[in-house]
């Protein structure tokens, strides 16, 4: 079960000062029972199951329940990179210094949790809200937002597929307005499960991202960047077709 992979990665953390909130939308599978099995053994785990109006509504509910200094969202199947991830992040935070966002790198894994490749988009050395005009350079699984900023900047639930992009930008905008910078750990922080809701609804997600980009960066920048994204996407598609043809030719040659 994908949820169990995620819960195990959190339970194995050597850093003890965390809470793990499981949000469930009254699912009919074993989600709640599996989560409760872990919760019975660990008081840091909070299982909450009730109807919601979608993924981002559930994430807002988790925000309201959170009591820690920073919050990160993991989907079922995602996992913290290794057992020292939270300890490594804590070690990067200097006493009295509370960046608006602590971030890092991401690896992509398959359904079995096997490494596929590093995430294509890579975080810059110094991340600001302006950085995301180049795309979502840090996925939310490697984006640790300061909880007080996150609570006053909830997810915009009018977006069904890309509210995480908007949320990350607004968190960084809020931090910058308060004179607070972000912190690059320089570390790989999570394994991200390939695919997901955004991939399954790619066209709807792209339309939402266009609206989000226009909202934050203006129409001119958005049109320019989307033109560049389309060129890159077309290039990747051509490369995939070339690779398929090469594989097909090799198979045909081997049959002869």
**For residue 246, is pLDDT > 70?**
no
The predicted-structure confidence for 160-182, as pLDDT tens digits, reads as follows 999 999 999 999 999 999 999 99
Other beta carbons within 10 angstroms of residue 36's beta carbon come to 14
The predicted-structure confidence for 122-156, as pLDDT tens digits, reads as follows 999 999 999 999 889 999 999 999 999 999 999 99
In DSSP terms, 107 is beta-bridged to 118, 191
**For residue 253, is pLDDT > 80?**
no
Which of the four pLDDT bands, split at 50, 70 and 90, describes residue 38?
A: very high
The predicted-structure confidence for 188-200, as pLDDT tens digits, reads as follows 999 998 865 555 5
**For residue 240, is pLDDT > 70?**
no
The predicted-structure confidence for 115-126, as pLDDT tens digits, reads as follows 999 998 999 999
pLDDT at position 2 is 85
Whole-number Å distance between alpha carbons of 165 and 192: 16
**For residue 25, is pLDDT > 60?**
yes
**For residue 33, is pLDDT > 60?**
yes
Supply φ then ψ for residue 31, to 5 degrees.
-55, -55
Residues 133/168, Cβ–Cβ less than 8 Å = no
What DSSP string runs through the chain? Answer: -HHHHHHHHHHT-S-----EEEEE-S-SSSHHHHHHHHHHH-TTEEEEE---SSHHHHHHHHHHH--SSEE----BTBEESSTTHHHHHHHHS-TT---SEEEEEEEEE-TT--EEEE-SS---SS--GGGGGG---S-GGGEEEEHHHHHTS---TT-SS-HHHHHHHHHHHHHHHTT---EEEEEEEEEEESS-HHHHTHHHHHHHHHHHHHHHH-HHHHHHHHHHHHHHHHHHHHHHHHHHHHHHHHHHHHH-
The predicted-structure confidence for 103-112, as pLDDT tens digits, reads as follows 999 999 988 8
Supply φ then ψ for residue 69, to 5 degrees.
-85, -30
pTM of the full structure = 0.85
Q: Give which of 164, 113, 112 is closest to 142, Cα–Cα.
A: 164
**For residue 26, is pLDDT > 60?**
yes
Q: Which CB contacts under 8 angstroms, 24+ apart, belong to 75-78?
A: 75/6, 75/141, 75/193, 75/196, 76/2, 76/3, 76/5, 76/6, 76/31, 77/2, 77/3, 77/5, 77/6, 77/111, 77/193, 78/6, 78/141, 78/190, 78/191, 78/192, 78/193
Residues 161/197, Cβ–Cβ less than 8 Å = yes
pLDDT at position 64 is 93
Mean pLDDT of the chain: 88
Q: What is the mean pLDDT of residues 212-222?
A: 92
pLDDT at position 129 is 96
Q: What is the mean pLDDT of residues 35-52?
A: 93
Which of the four pLDDT bands, split at 50, 70 and 90, describes residue 98?
A: very high
The predicted-structure confidence for 49-81, as pLDDT tens digits, reads as follows 999 888 999 999 999 999 999 999 999 889 999
């Amino acid at each position: 079960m994908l949820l169990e992979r995620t819960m195990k990665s959190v339970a194995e953390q050597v850093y003890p000062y965390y809470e793990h909130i499981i949000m469930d939308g009254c699912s009919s599978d074993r989600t709640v029972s599996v989560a409760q099995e872990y919760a019975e053994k660990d008081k840091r785990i909070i299982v909450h199951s009730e109807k919601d109006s979608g993924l981002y509504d559930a994430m807002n509910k988790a925000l309201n329940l959170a009591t820690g200094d920073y919050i990160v969202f993991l989907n079922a199947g995602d996992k913290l990179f290794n057992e020292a991830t939270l300890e490594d992040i804590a070690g990067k935070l200097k006493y009295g210094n509370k960046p608006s966002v602590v971030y890092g790198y991401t690896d992509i894994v398959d359904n079995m949790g096997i490494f596929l490749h590093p995430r294509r988009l890579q975080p810059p050395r110094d991340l600001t809200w302006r950085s995301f005009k180049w795309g979502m350079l840090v996925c939310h699984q490697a984006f640790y937002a300061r909880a007080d900023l996150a609570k006053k900047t909830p997810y915009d639930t009018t977006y069904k597929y890309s509210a995480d992009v908007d949320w990350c930008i607004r968190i960084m905008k809020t931090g910058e307005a308060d004179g607070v910078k972000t912190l690059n750990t320089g570390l790989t922080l999570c394994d991200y499960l390939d695919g997901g809701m955004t991939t399954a609804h790619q066209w709807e997600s792209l339309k939402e991202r266009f609206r989000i980009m226009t909202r934050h960066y203006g129409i001119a920048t958005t049109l320019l960047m989307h033109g560049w994204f389309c060129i890159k996407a077309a290039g990747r598609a051509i490369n995939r077709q070339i690779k398929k043809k090469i594989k097909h030719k090799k198979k045909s040659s081997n049959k002869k």
